[in-house]
């Protein structure tokens, strides 16, 4: 079996691996065993070795995904929020893999390691991409879990999925039914809020992607908050991996898409999890409305929890998800 070090080097030569390995070995981060093993295995180029897999959609977009665990186990598909990637589900992927599930997480088009698309950055195409992934991986009876924008993606996909593809769904701090304020949705956020998001992304995306996680996303702007610089840095890293055009377009997708009819169509059980201190997707105009539209919905509200609670409160969220998955 190829070592972790060897697999991580794509198209490397013996010289490349030796050069990198010496530095890690000297720093005490690579054991002598792994160093000798990597050296022995690197005698020939390691072309085509990839850490993540991809599928290609009908418009040529490459969607990167992780697929871990037994192929005959219960599949759980995780859908990330804006402007992040599959990596935002680290705490869930590792936990549920350890519980014996098959865990899958993809980078939405234009995000993470997927193609940086300039078209198709809207919910209908996002859902079609998920359909392509489900077919490619032959997913049946899957549980789909979406956070924030990913919750909208789940709602749009599940409402139109092929029979037998979906068993249950979970929406965490999710955007449905609709975020933007209108005559039909008087409690929503004004369009100007999302215009300011677009302006900030266009003007200085790198700075904006520091401001969001440092402030409201994880509730780090609240008095007494226990701030993790690592969590902030990881949010920034994921955001900057994606394409600015895709992420700019996605603001319209998550804020102006109306999921009302999607929620009404869904006929599988749906669990809504939402923090009552969510500053990004306020609960009053999301989960509290969405639960009224679902045929088989269950709502759980967490007092004081923030928008990024799947990260900041992973132990609590994972335990509740596990109970729901096994019910």
The answer to whether 111 is a known catalytic residue is: no
Residue 170 pairs in a beta bridge with: 145, 271
Return the H-helix or E-strand segment holding 176. none
Q: How far apart are CA 206 and CA 196, in angstroms?
A: 15
**Of residues 249, 278, 285, 306, which has the active-site annotation?**
278
The answer to whether 129 is a known catalytic residue is: no
In degrees and rounded to multiples of 5, residue 125 shows phi and psi of -70, -40
CA dihedral 37→41→42→45, nearest 10 degrees, is: -160
The answer to whether 106 is a known catalytic residue is: no
* ω into 254 cis (within 30 of 0): no
**Of residues 85, 115, 148, 255, which has the active-site annotation?**
148
Q: Classify strands 62-68 and 53-56 as parallel, antiparallel or unpaired.
A: antiparallel
Q: Which residues contact 263 (CB under 8 A, 6 or more apart)?
A: 155, 159, 176, 177, 270, 290, 293, 294
Closest alpha carbon to 165 in 132, 137, 140, 145:
140
3-state secondary structure of 189: strand
Residue 168 pairs in a beta bridge with: 143
Residue 10 CA from chain centroid, whole number? 25
* ω into 177 cis (within 30 of 0): yes
Q: Catalytic residue positions?
A: 148, 278, 307
């Amino acid at each position: 079996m190829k070592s972790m070090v060897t697999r991580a080097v794509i198209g490397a030569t013996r010289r490349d691996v030796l050069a990198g390995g010496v530095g890690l070995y000297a720093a005490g981060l690579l054991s002598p065993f792994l160093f000798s093993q990597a050296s022995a295995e690197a005698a020939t180029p390691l072309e085509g070795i990839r850490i993540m897999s991809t599928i290609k959609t009908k418009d040529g977009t490459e969607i990167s995904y992780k697929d871990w665990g037994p192929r005959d186990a219960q599949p759980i598909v995780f859908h990330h929020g804006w402007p992040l990637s599959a990596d935002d589900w680290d705490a869930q992927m590792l936990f549920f893999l350890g519980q014996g599930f098959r865990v899958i997480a993809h980078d939405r088009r234009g995000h993470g390691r997927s193609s940086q698309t300039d078209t198709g950055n809207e919910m209908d195409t996002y859902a079609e991409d998920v359909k392509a992934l489900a077919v490619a991986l032959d997913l049946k009876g899957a549980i789909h879990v979406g956070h924030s924008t990913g919750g909208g993606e789940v709602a749009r996909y599940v409402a139109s999925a092929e029979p037998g593809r979906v068993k249950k769904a979970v929406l965490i701090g999710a955007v449905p039914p609709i975020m933007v304020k209108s005559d039909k949705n008087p409690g929503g956020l004004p369009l100007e809020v999302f215009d300011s998001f677009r302006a900030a992304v266009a003007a200085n995306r790198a700075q904006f992607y520091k401001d969001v996680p440092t402030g409201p996303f994880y509730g780090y702007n609240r008095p007494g908050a226990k701030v993790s610089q690592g969590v902030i840095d990881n949010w920034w890293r994921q955001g900057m991996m994606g394409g600015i055009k895709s992420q700019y377009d996605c603001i319209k997708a998550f804020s102006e898409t109306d999921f009302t009819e999607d929620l009404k169509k869904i006929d599988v059980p749906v669990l809504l999890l939402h923090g009552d201190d969510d500053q990004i997707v306020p609960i009053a105009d999301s989960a509290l409305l969405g639960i009224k539209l679902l045929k088989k919905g269950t709502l759980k509200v967490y007092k004081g929890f923030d928008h990024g609670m799947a990260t900041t409160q992973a132990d609590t969220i994972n335990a509740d998800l596990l109970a729901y998955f096994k019910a």
